[in-house]
Structure 1
Amino acid sequence: MSSAYLLVSHGSRDPRPEISMQQLAGLVNHKLQKSISPPKSENLVGIACLEMSSQPLHEQIRTFAQSALAYGCNRLKIIPLFLLPGVHVMTDIPAEIALAQQALSQDIIIDLQPYLGSQPGLETLLTKQMAAIKTQAWILLAHGSRRPGSKQLVETRAANLGAVSAYWATSGSLESRVEELIAAGKREIAILPYFLFTGGITDAIARSVEELKLHFPSVTFQLAQPLGASAELADLIWELVSYT
């Protein structure tokens, strides 16, 4: 069964995440071409977004699926590039896939893959982000979700990394975690943004860290980078789709 692949992100008004998505799709497509013989000239890895697009996601899926079908593919794998199992992952994307499948012939089947944040190998990439920074304490800063139980993955991942968790959009804020660490005697604190790409939120996080430096001048703060469109992330995505 010949497959095409569609990487689905949240979407942003900031152009940088889309640029990173295009770069990541190119890296995944390179791995795909190395795995098939003979390689295809067509690009069988596309991108789509749930929000901030001129088309709803199901239309983006349908359009890409029709192109894939014309290239001889009879299966389309949808990979949600989300780090938390929030409403988008658990409800919105499956609903959009169902709408797209209804509009397509049964000559191509759409398969929803596990979301990126569920993959244990992601911790290896996060550890690499952390390795370049010497500090006394780490904060893993995620966006957060109000969906019940969605924080458990972040809590577990933070514990595995030797960090404490914080959330940008829900309770357990960065500022409160910093205050707790300072009260515990920590004077070197590093923050790891649990985000895929640089964008508006990571810019806001950087500004918040600068404010923390002013409020706590005796504490050294360092800010790591989000994961980014790296060859290592492409490897992880390829491992995810190659065994399903």
Structure 2
Amino acid sequence: MIPLTDTVLIVGHGSREESGNREIRDFVQQWRLRQPGWRIDLCFIEFAQPSLHDGLLAAARGAHRVLVLPLILNAAGHVKMEIPEAIEHARDHCPGTEFLLAPHLTACDETLAVLRRRLRQAMSALDMPDPTTTGVVLLGRGSSDRGANGEMAKMVRWLQEEGDHELVDLAFTGIAWPRLERVVQRQALLGMRQVVVLPYYLFTGTLVQRIHRQVEHLRGQYPQLRFACGEHFGFEPEVFGLLRQRVADLLAGVPDSRLPCDGCRFREMAHDMGHGHAHDHGHAPVPARAEGQAA
């Protein structure tokens, strides 16, 4: 149980597709029902409201402490720079409130469990063919951050080591390479008869919808192959469990070696290269909210 003076703030990415933002809101509402007595707020990094900056300030009203939980799979610029800088901004405006930042969801056993379940479901849709002739493609959002791409590569390796599929590959929807079409071409040349595409996304959105369209196109391009496309993570129990563990770790003071000092090293590098985020948002100081008052 967390103190009534604490606020848990979920930070979602946000999507141009409103159905994706609605899924995130539904997810947070489900978590509120699972954690009665907790004050759980939500904000978005982009494309949806409330914004990250406004969400932090609102979460601080009447709170002695704000526990910031990025609802994000991989750590790139949003996690390493934007969220920590927004927290610094909120600290300046709310000096009486402590802000604690949890790590993102990360490549871990829990995310692996979701992927393995999605893979089993896709294999069932293919009438359980021989996994040695079924290629697997983990498809995620590419990044200019090699660490974020590396986390996905780790998940690919774990999937291969934990199963019987001889060919498990990584592909990206943008920014990084290879792309899905090239990986499927390679798997076809290597003699795969079926291909399972596993989207590495938490919620739906424009990119997830594009993935399903791409798989339909590939079905016409490779009539000799059978394709199955998995679903995004959504409301899996492992995701709820990871968030609860993040809260427990923050309350216990467990240090996070993956993002030391609120990501300050990464922000310093960005500032040195001229990519710092300005704090001229013009927010007025936030008035205190009475204890127990609803957000």
The two structures have a TM-score, normalised by structure 1, of 0.88
Q: Distance between the aligned counterparts of 1:226 and 1:53, measured in 2?
A: 20
Q: Distance between the aligned counterparts of 2:114 and 2:220, measured in 1?
A: 31
- Does the 8 Å CA contact 1:48/1:57 hold for their aligned counterparts? yes
Kindly state the Cα deviation for residue 110 of structure 1 after the two structures are TM-superposed.
0.9
- Does the 8 Å CA contact 1:140/1:191 hold for their aligned counterparts? yes
The secondary structure found in structure 1 opposite 2:146 is coil
The secondary structure found in structure 1 opposite 2:171 is strand
1:183 paired residue number: 189
Q: Distance between the aligned counterparts of 1:210 and 1:50, measured in 2?
A: 31
Kindly state the Cα deviation for residue 120 of structure 1 after the two structures are TM-superposed.
3.3
Structure 1 position 23 matched with structure 2 position 12: no
Of 110, 117, 121, the match for 1:128: 117
Runs of 4+ in 1 over 4 A off after TM superposition: none
Q: Distance between the aligned counterparts of 1:27 and 1:165, measured in 2?
A: 32
Kindly state the Cα deviation for residue 240 of structure 1 after the two structures are TM-superposed.
2.4
Kindly state the Cα deviation for residue 118 of structure 1 after the two structures are TM-superposed.
4.3
Alignment size in residue pairs: 230
Deviations 1:175-221 (CA, angstroms, capped at 9, x unpaired): 11101111110010010000011111111111111111111000001
Q: Distance between the aligned counterparts of 1:128 and 1:196, measured in 2?
A: 14
Structure 1 position 77 matched with structure 2 position 60: no
2:275 paired residue number: none
- Does the 8 Å CA contact 2:19/2:204 hold for their aligned counterparts? yes
One-letter amino acid of the counterpart of residue 111, structure 2:
L
One-letter amino acid of the counterpart of residue 100, structure 1:
A
Q: Distance between the aligned counterparts of 1:199 and 1:139, measured in 2?
A: 19
- Does the 8 Å CA contact 2:110/2:239 hold for their aligned counterparts? no
RMSD: 1.7
Deviations 1:100-121 (CA, angstroms, capped at 9, x unpaired): 1111132x21111000124432
Tell which structure's C-alpha radius of gyration is larger: 2
In structure 2, list runs of 5 or more residues that go unmatched. Answer: 124-130, 161-167, 251-295
1:157 paired residue number: 155
Q: Distance between the aligned counterparts of 1:221 and 1:45, measured in 2?
A: 40
Kindly state the Cα deviation for residue 91 of structure 1 after the two structures are TM-superposed.
0.7
**What does residue range 190-201 of structure 1 map to in structure 2 within 5 Å?**
190-201=196-207
Q: Distance between the aligned counterparts of 2:35 and 2:85, measured in 1?
A: 27
- Distance of aligned partners of 1:30 and 1:56 in 2 relative to their CA distance in 1, 3 Å threshold: closer
- Distance of aligned partners of 1:6 and 1:119 in 2 relative to their CA distance in 1, 3 Å threshold: farther
- Distance of aligned partners of 1:133 and 1:148 in 2 relative to their CA distance in 1, 3 Å threshold: closer
Q: Distance between the aligned counterparts of 1:232 and 1:155, measured in 2?
A: 20
